């Protein structure tokens, strides 16, 4: 009897154990038909976050032994998939081959980005070095030479002036008839003064002094400016021109490096509106011009196709980029400039205006307008350049006799224009 009781107990225990083994086999995943019997290592489990009870649909599910068992089996599945991804990534990505025996989590994103940047540098290093090409982009209504902010706004390769010059002028508020009546038929002298937008006081001091001669029938005078992107300054210029009507404004952006464009602009305006004028004086708004002396100078000149002024000979290009007069070898390859008249003031005969305008557009651009116009372009056109000692083009003593014997005096402040005008008009002082 006791034997049968023990035998029955053994059978019952065996059946119970077999049922538990069958139940557990339902949760064992398989890959490729083989059951997964590997133990989940602690270091792998530590890298896989366990599902928290709050992520399930019931607050008590996390305490269920079946749920804990399914979590363990899910972790085992993730570890298998994780191992497969690691093996595939190591074979396909050379950056990960060095860590094929490590968990993919051990490769930091910063390390991956660093390795990727190195591989990009190697790829770029195989290409030939590329120098940035200077962009010359004339905007509608605005023309300028563009370059880096550290260097002057100039192209580092030769570019024809016509590609950066936009012809035309803003003649809405200008009084063309008072500047050049009958297209210059009866005009002996046209004085065009290069000015800057902000130089209002310089323009006013000239209007109150030697620009007085512009009221003569045989003399015309005007200021020449470019454009500005400053809206308030543009409005002020419009008002100023509405009052005086003596400001010729081109489409180029007004800057030091665009002085050549400003001179081309005054040549274009003269060629369009005053082609019959006999002489044109190009000067700046920091100059004092003895107009009577200039008219006397003109009376003694009979030569055609000429430029008169302070002649500069054998001047060498300045190659230092720190200088305002810097010119690269691409812009001018020679070692010495051709003879030219210095820019503060020079006199042109009216018969060369059209030729200078057209030829300048077909010549490679240079920022030094006096070298460009009266040197390089004039030489190509075989225009005569003559030295005239009356063009001082420098600051001199303000003594009345010095002023009366000079045609042009340079570096004059607005307040000083009145002093020179008074000395010029003082009839009580005699000069030999």
Classified as helix, coil or strand, 69 is helix
79 and 165 inside one domain: no
Q: How many CB atoms lie within 10 A of CB 208?
A: 13
386 and 246 inside one domain: yes
Percentage of the chain exceeding pLDDT 70: 64
Single residue among 106, 121, 151 that ends a domain in this structure: 106
Give burial (CB, 10 Å; 0-12/13-18/19+) of 52.
exposed
Q: Are 385 and 341 in contact (CB under 8 A)?
A: yes
Q: Tell me if 372 is assigned to some domain.
A: yes
Q: What are the backbone angles phi and psi of residue 111, rounded to the nearest 5°? A: -70, -40
- The H-assigned helical ranges of 209-258 are 231-244
102 and 178 inside one domain: no
72 and 181 inside one domain: no
Residue 431's pLDDT band (cuts 50, 70, 90): confident
pLDDT digits 0-9 by tens, 184-202? 999 999 999 999 999 999 9
Single residue among 64, 86, 106 that ends a domain in this structure: 106
Bridge pairing between strands 340-349 and 288-289: unpaired
Does the pLDDT at position 222 exceed 50? Answer: yes
100 and 184 inside one domain: no
Q: Are 379 and 373 in contact (CB under 8 A)?
A: no
Q: Please tell me the total count of domains within the chain.
A: 2
Distance between terminal CA atoms of the chain? 162
Which H helix or E strand runs over 207?
helix 200-208
DSSP state for residue 309 in the 8-state scheme = E
Residue range of the domain that includes 42: 36-106
Whole-angstrom Cα distance, residue 177 to residue 186? Answer: 12
Residue 49's pLDDT band (cuts 50, 70, 90): very low
Mean pLDDT taken over the chain: 76
Q: CATH number of the domain that 407 lies in?
A: 3.90.550.50
Q: Tell me if 18 is assigned to some domain.
A: no
Q: Tell me if 16 is assigned to some domain.
A: no
Q: What are the backbone angles phi and psi of residue 91, rounded to the nearest 5°? A: -75, -35
Higher pLDDT, 27 or 307: 307
CA–chain centroid gap for 317, Å, is 24
Q: Tell me if 29 is assigned to some domain.
A: no
Angle between helix 231-244 and 200-208 (nearest 10): 10
Per-residue pLDDT at 88: 40
62 and 197 inside one domain: no
72 and 179 inside one domain: no
389 and 297 inside one domain: yes
Contacts with 307 (C-beta within 8 Å, 6 or more apart), sequence order: 341, 346, 347, 348, 349, 352, 374, 378, 383, 384, 385, 386
Single residue among 106, 128, 151 that ends a domain in this structure: 106
317 and 178 inside one domain: yes
Average pLDDT value for residue range 108-116: 42
Does the pLDDT at position 114 exceed 70? Answer: no
Q: Do you know the residue count of the chain?
A: 432
Q: Tell me if 121 is assigned to some domain.
A: no
91 and 178 inside one domain: no
Q: Tell me if 310 is assigned to some domain.
A: yes
Per-residue pLDDT at 288: 98
The CA-based angle 299-302-304, given to 5 degrees, is 130
215 and 66 inside one domain: no
Q: Tell me if 374 is assigned to some domain.
A: yes
Whole-angstrom Cα distance, residue 365 to residue 50? Answer: 73
Residue 10's pLDDT band (cuts 50, 70, 90): low
249 and 367 inside one domain: yes
Q: Tell me if 260 is assigned to some domain.
A: yes
Does the pLDDT at position 131 exceed 60? Answer: no
Per-residue pLDDT at 129: 41
pTM for the whole thing? 0.66
Q: What are the backbone angles phi and psi of residue 249, rounded to the nearest 5°? A: -125, 120
pLDDT digits 0-9 by tens, 135-145? 333 333 334 44
**Which of 20-24, 121-125, 296-300, 400-404 has the least mean pLDDT?**
121-125
Average pLDDT value for residue range 43-68: 42
């Amino acid at each position: 009897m006791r034997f049968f009781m023990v035998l029955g107990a053994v059978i019952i225990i065996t059946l119970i154990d077999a049922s538990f083994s069958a139940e557990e086999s339902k949760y064992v995943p398989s890959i490729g038909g083989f059951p997964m019997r590997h133990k989940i290592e602690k270091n792998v489990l530590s890298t896989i976050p366990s599902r928290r009870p709050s992520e399930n649909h019931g607050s008590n599910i996390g305490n269920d032994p079946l749920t804990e068992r399914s979590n363990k089996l899910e972790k085992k599945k993730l570890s298998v998939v994780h191992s497969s991804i690691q093996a595939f990534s190591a074979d396909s990505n050379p950056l990960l081959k060095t860590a094929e025996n490590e968990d993919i989590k051990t490769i930091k994103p910063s390390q991956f980005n660093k390795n990727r940047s190195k591989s990009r540098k190697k790829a770029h290093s195989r290409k030939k070095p590329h120098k940035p090409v200077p962009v010359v982009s004339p905007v509608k209504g605005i023309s300028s030479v563009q370059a880096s902010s550290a260097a002057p706004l100039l192209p580092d390769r030769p570019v024809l002036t016509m590609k950066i010059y936009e012809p035309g002028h803003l003649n809405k508020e200008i009084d063309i008839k008072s500047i050049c009546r009958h297209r210059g038929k009866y005009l002996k002298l046209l004085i065009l003064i290069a000015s800057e937008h902000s130089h209002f006081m310089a323009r006013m001091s000239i209007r109150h002094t030697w620009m007085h001669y512009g009221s003569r029938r045989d003399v015309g005078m005007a200021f020449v400016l470019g454009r500005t992107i400053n809206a308030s300054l543009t409005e002020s210029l419009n008002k100023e021109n509405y009052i005086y009507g003596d400001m010729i404004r081109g489409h180029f952006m007004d800057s030091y490096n665009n002085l050549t464009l400003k001179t081309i602009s005054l040549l274009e305006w003269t060629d369009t509106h005053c082609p019959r004028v006999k002489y044109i004086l190009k000067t700046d708004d920091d100059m004092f011009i003895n107009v009577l002396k200039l008219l006397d100078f003109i009376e003694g000149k009979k030569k055609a196709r000429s430029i008169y002024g302070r002649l500069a000979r054998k001047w060498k290009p300045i190659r230092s980029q720190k200088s305002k007069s810097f010119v690269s070898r691409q812009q001018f390859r020679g070692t010495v400039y051709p003879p030219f008249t210095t820019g503060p003031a020079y006199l042109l005969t009216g018969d060369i205006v059209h030729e200078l305008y057209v030829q300048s557009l077909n010549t490679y651009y240079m920022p030094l307008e006096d070298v460009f116009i009266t040197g390089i372009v004039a030489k190509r056109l075989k225009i005569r350049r003559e030295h005239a000692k009356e063009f001082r083009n420098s600051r001199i003593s303000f003594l009345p006799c010095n002023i009366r014997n000079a045609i042009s005096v340079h570096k004059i402040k607005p307040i000083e224009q009145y002093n020179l005008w008074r000395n010029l008009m003082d009839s009580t002082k005699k000069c030999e």
